[in-house]
Amino acid sequence: MKPNRPVNLDLGTIALPLPAKASILHRVSGVALVVAVAVLLYLFDLSLSGEAGFARAGELLATTPAKLVIWGVLAALIYHCVAGVKHLLMDLGIGESLQGGITAARITFAVAAVLIVLAGVWVW
Amino acid sequence: MVRAVTSFGRSGLSDWLLQRFTAVVLLAYVLCVGGILLFTPGIDYATWREHFDGTAMKVFSLMALLSIVVHAWIGLWSVSTDYLTVRMLGAKANGIRIVFQMAYAVVLFAYLVWGVQILWGN
């Protein structure tokens, strides 16, 4: 492999098509989830530490800032799961064409948006 | 020639497969815990505790925990080797990348220890 072969991977200069946007958001949500695991482990730990801890976790989750954080975590989780299922389906050869990729990205955004709104309703 | 010394399985194919296997485990776990939360609104401590005390659920939880570590390792490795590169950041990129990779290795190991402690220590 020639080390000086021409490449253009400067993402800032490339107009991202819809499937690329779906892909980069999958990555962004994944990185966010790595951080979110700390929040979830903390709450999980607290909720299983005893009656008092369980009640304390409930109190924490009743505040508006905490609800916003949890909704954010759920949004990242939902998007990552939906985009992940799209990924697995494409691995199986479903929707691998150019048009299929665009349609799959549209479906991913639509399904994730609906589920994220529903998650918001559930949190509040 | 070995170049992928910081990837999880030291092989692209192995990482590819592990990423998908752990994804399925995590999706199943999310649906399972999501189902518990969704279908038992106002759940009390005893019921919540009971759900996670059974051996089957403990095994499932541990599997999910290990899957988080592996899945996140492979994901963060992909992200770091795509964006923390000499082309993107210049000469200092190699140092930044290895520090980032050490950092997530420590964080993910801490998650593993913490999670085991929650599952068996409480």
Flag whether residue A51 sits within 8 Å of chain B, measured between CB atoms. yes
- Indicate whether B44 belongs to any domain: yes
Number of compact structural domains in chain B: 1
Best probe of the B interface among A48, A51, A115, A116, by most B CBs < 10 A, is A48
Q: With contact defined as beta carbons under 8 Å apart, do A49 and A58 qualify?
A: no
Is the pTM above the cut of 0.90? yes
- What does CATH list as the number for A18-123? 1.20.1300.10
- Residue of B48, B115, B117 with shortest CB distance to A54: B48
Q: How far is CA B59 from the centre of its chain?
A: 16
pLDDT at B31: 97
Q: With contact defined as beta carbons under 8 Å apart, do B24 and B60 qualify?
A: no
Q: Helix, strand, or coil here: A21?
A: helix
Please tell me the distance from the alpha carbon of residue A103 to that of residue B2, in angstroms, as a whole number.
39
Length of chain B: 122
Q: How far is CA B89 from CA A6, B30, B80, in A?
A: 18, 36, 12
Q: With contact defined as beta carbons under 8 Å apart, do B27 and A84 qualify?
A: yes
For the beta carbon of residue A50, count every other beta carbon within 10 angstroms.
Answer: 13
Please name the helix (run of DSSP H) or strand (run of DSSP E) that holds residue B68, with its range, or none. helix B55-83
- Indicate whether B102 belongs to any domain: yes
pLDDT over 90 (residue B6): no
CATH for B43: 1.20.1300.10
pLDDT over 90 (residue B56): yes
Q: What is the mean pLDDT of residues B96-105?
A: 96
Best probe of the A interface among B114, B117, B119, B120, by most A CBs < 10 A, is B114
pLDDT over 50 (residue B1): no
**Residue A68 CB partners (closer than 8 Å, separation 6+):** none
Q: With contact defined as beta carbons under 8 Å apart, do A105 and A21 qualify?
A: yes
B122 to A37: CB separation less than 8 angstroms, yes or no: no
Q: With contact defined as beta carbons under 8 Å apart, do A41 and B115 qualify?
A: yes
- Residue of A37, A54, A81 with shortest CB distance to B45: A54
- Indicate whether B16 belongs to any domain: yes
Report which of residues B61 and B9 the model is more confident about.
B61
- Indicate whether B99 belongs to any domain: yes
pLDDT digits (tens, 9 = 90+) for A22-64: 999 999 999 999 999 999 999 999 999 999 999 999 999 999 9
Q: What is the mean pLDDT of residues A74-96?
A: 96
pLDDT digits (tens, 9 = 90+) for B76-87: 999 999 899 888
The residue range of the domain holding B65 is 12-121
- Indicate whether B1 belongs to any domain: no
pLDDT at B89: 87
